Copies of this chain bind each other. A is one copy, B any other.
Amino acid sequence: MIEGVELAQRRCVRGAKKLDDETLAALRAMLPAWRVEGGELRRSFRFADFRHAIFFVNAVAAIAEREDHHPDVTIRYRDVELALATHDAGGLTENDFVLAAKIDDAG
């Protein structure tokens, strides 16, 4: 059980296990801007324009490379949608929430 941790300060780790319902609920409560949809952790961002959207995507990419955990990214002009999941674990793991928290810090 993870509670009260500073999610954004954790690191993504190899072999993370799919979360149990209780831990999932606790982590979701820590990241209210994100939604769980189709087994993915998703968030939509809107920026002033395309250039700002691309700037953000590059910040996300740098985090993703550092954590070796890569969200799906959709860019529609100034709107960016991110979708996180841990395919190896067959669902959401703590890694997804750690990555989301780091992205929130960058957004």
Interface size on A, residues (CB 8 A): 15
Quick check: which of A2-10, A12-20, A58-66 contacts chain B, the rest being far away? A58-66
- A31 to chain B minimum Cβ distance, whole angstroms, is 22
Question: Residue A46 at the B interface, CB < 8 A?
Answer: no
Number of copies: 2
Q: Within residues 61 to 82 of chain A, which ones have a CB less than 8 A from any CB in chain B?
A: 61, 64-65, 70, 72-77
Q: Which of B61, B74, B77 contacts A54 (CB 8 A)?
A: B61
Cα(A35)–Cα(B59), bound, Å: 31
Given contacts A50-B61, A50-B64, A58-B58, A74 and B77 within 8 Å (CB-CB): no
Question: Residue A51 at the B interface, CB < 8 A?
Answer: yes
